[in-house]
Chains A and B, each alone.
Chain A
């Protein structure tokens, strides 16, 4: 990676720009700041950036426009979209359009650090967009067919029960997991809102967005016991929760249907979930 900035921040709100800089700089991360999409594109042409962190609601072109340009021209740069809560639907659309993750405002330090570090690590390991999106992967180890929320989370459906797990954005990218907050059985999840939270040893917090709405039937006890399963077997025994979906018909539209990722370390996961 040639010299440049770690993060390109596109944000029209001065206080947020200043805050992000204040948080990232002590971490030894370099930050390039612009206020709108035109500025961002100009900077992207001139200087190298490892990660783009962009607000969705910007004057002129929106964060979506920037996302499309970046995924089209520089697919290996992860784009994290910062959204207000009011734009959950937009955030879901962002996943569909290829965003790495989204960060709802207001966020605190561990949350910002968590997502930025994860994206940087993905760049470092060259794992971002390593799998072709929305295409069949006909590898030697075919996995069960799944629905994906971007490369963030996956869903399988069996007998009206949905099983969630973590997708390509996670395995190996999160440092030692300190704690894992999982939903209680019976609680209600909303698509696009947090369904679980990970705290890692590097004082980061990572939130996992529910790929579907529904009420929680079961939480994987194995993951509760051994959270590192999320790193080791995210597509099989490392599943997170089982949910009774509330509104499959409309919510599946926000997801992408494709085969499991090639980087899935174990192929027996599919069989396990078929039982």
Chain B
């Protein structure tokens, strides 16, 4: 699956960097172009003034041959296209190109615009207006510079071919330079700017793509895969949480959500199982009680009449075992009859003491040592005292059954803990017995699961689980084969409960 978000981000970044790079490249090349043009213009003006000043002396002396030569010499300079000197009437009087001499230039032509655009003639031209850029038929650009040749007093007073003193301008020097080199340099600059921009955009995009892939794409794909697995029912799946950024937090909260979901599913599963066990038990009880009545009544009837000791003993076994069946069915029904807890304010330590009083004798007979660590000042909390006592009792009886050989020790402790900002009352029942093998661990809270062969119904822990869950608590087991087992029951307190009633 291609993450479309990556493509969107890439496209957006590409467009933004294109705009930024493009604009800056365009601005840079434009500035370069203007600078170059200014440079060329200044050179052209200098050149033009050089020609005028160079030819001044020759003109004053009216040495036409000299003027011609100077202009011709200068005209050989590279890039200098045309040099023309017009007289007042627009007739070309000097030019390195002999064919142009004698031709006339129309006052309307672009070369004359600087002075004659508005129909009037201007004596002084600003530097900017002396130059012009134009294209020829081939599209090449050219720079023209016109330099008016003023009527100096020396000219008017000279004896050779005296100009009338009222004339301000005697003629115009027109120099045309080719801009091909400049244009080439500009276009080269543009091309390299373009290449740089494209390379920059590509580099940024690639870098971004790889970072995006690493920081966003991969974790998002991992999360996506995880949601798919969880959706498919694998609630044990967890996402690695690499960093503390938002995606890391998302992964962490995803894991938390999955854990909660698994817990909730487990609770629903257990509750459903307990409920169906209850229905099953009720159904079985009714069906099985009739045949059991037959067996029990006939066998006890025969027992009553039997005289032979051996027969009596056999019948006693039958009666005894049938009564055991009855007890099992009764246990099932007691289990299925579990009612919602009737909560009053209870003192957990008192409950533990009562439970201990009941098993006290059994522990002594089995030579089991008991260590009791009850927290002082446990606050009273709403719970069903009888049900909690049953939980403690069941856990104690299980612990007492957990020993094979050696030192026999049971630890029981109560405590007040703060878990996830919520106060919880905790009961721990631990033993140093045989521990629970891995293969059994997943089943211990299931109804009918027992390792006690004939001694247990397999309902003890299922009942504990049901009671603790009904109280909104949790029951955890921590076990190591050969080392022992610890059951921890946590009951949240402080939550407002509607069904609380104080006892006297």
Contacts and interface: CB of A to CB of B under 8 A. Distances in A.
Interface string B270-286: 00000000000011011
Interface of B: 282-283, 285-286, 289-301, 303-305, 319, 322-323, 325-326, 329-330, 333-334, 337, 339, 342, 354-355, 357-358, 384-386, 389-390, 503-504
Nearest to B304: A109
A170 to B, nearest CB: 23
Contacts of A4: none
B386 A215 contact: yes
Contacts of B337: 88, 190
20 contacts: A13-B290, A19-B294, A106-B292, A106-B293, A106-B322, A106-B325, A107-B296, A109-B297, A109-B301, A109-B304, A159-B504, A186-B357, A186-B358, A187-B358, A190-B334, A193-B334, A213-B386, A215-B386, A244-B385, A249-B342
A126 interface: no
Contacts of A86: 282-283, 285-286, 333
B286 A57 contact: yes
A160 interface: yes
A213 B303 CA distance: 35
A13 B390 CA distance: 37
A186 B291 CA distance: 34
Interface core residue of A85, A87, A112, A190 (most chain B CB under 10 Å)? A85
Given A84-B285, A186-B354, A246-B386, 7 more contacts: A19-B294, A84-B286, A86-B283, A86-B286, A106-B295, A193-B330, A215-B389
B296 A247 contact: no
A159 B330 CA distance: 32
A16 B303 CA distance: 18
B329 A15 contact: no
A224 interface: no
Contact of A188 (B294, B322, B323, B390): B390
A19 B301 contact: yes
Nearest to B290: A13
Contacts of A105: 289-290, 292-293
A18 B296 CA distance: 13
* Nearest 8 CB-CB pairings of A with B: A106-B292, A19-B297, A15-B294, A105-B289, A108-B300, A106-B293, A109-B300, A84-B286
Contact of B296 (A22, A108, A214, A246): A108
B391 to A, nearest CB: 12
Contacts of B282: 86
B293 A16 contact: yes
A116 interface: no
B72 to A, nearest CB: 130
Interface string A56-91: 010000000000000000000000000011111000
A161 B324 CA distance: 33
A16 B504 contact: no
A107 B300 CA distance: 10
A184 interface: yes
Contacts of B326: 106
B342 A85 contact: no
A105 B319 CA distance: 14
Contacts of A214: 386
Nearest to A189: B386
Contacts of B342: 246-247, 249
A165 to B, nearest CB: 22
Contacts of A109: 297, 300-301, 303-304
Contacts of A110: 300
Nearest to A249: B342
Interface string A158-185: 0110000000000000000000000011
Nearest to A108: B300
Interface string A1-16: 0000000000001011
A20 interface: yes
Nearest to A160: B504
A214 B385 CA distance: 10
Contacts of A104: 289
Central interface residue in A88, A104, A159, by most chain B CB within 10 Å: A104
A48 interface: no
A107 B293 contact: yes
Contacts of A123: none
Contacts of B283: 86
Contacts of B295: 106
A16 B390 CA distance: 36
A22 B297 contact: yes
A213 B334 CA distance: 12
B323 to A, nearest CB: 7
A23 interface: yes
Contacts of B334: 190, 193
B292 A108 contact: no
A186 B386 CA distance: 9
Contacts of B329: 85
A203 interface: yes
Contacts of B389: 186, 188, 215
A184 B359 CA distance: 12
Nearest to A186: B358
Interface string A214-231: 110000000000000000
Interface centre among B299, B301, B389 (most CB of A within 10 A): B301
Residue of A22, A109, A190 most packed against chain B (CB within 10 A): A109
A60 to B, nearest CB: 17
Given A15-B293, A19-B293, A85 B358 contact: no
A28 to B, nearest CB: 15
B386 A23 contact: no
Contacts of B358: 184, 186-187
Contacts of A13: 290, 293
Interface in A93-148: 104-110, 112
A94 to B, nearest CB: 16
Contacts of B322: 106, 108
Nearest to B504: A160
**Residue from B285, B294, B297, B357 whose CB has the most chain A CB atoms within 10 Å:** B297
A87 B319 CA distance: 24
A109 B390 CA distance: 33
Contacts of B504: 159-160
A203 B300 CA distance: 12
Nearest to A112: B297
A85 B296 contact: no
Nearest to B288: A106
Interface string A191-224: 0010000000001000000000111000000000
A213 B385 CA distance: 12
Contact of B503 (A84, A112, A160, A190): A160
A70 B294 CA distance: 27
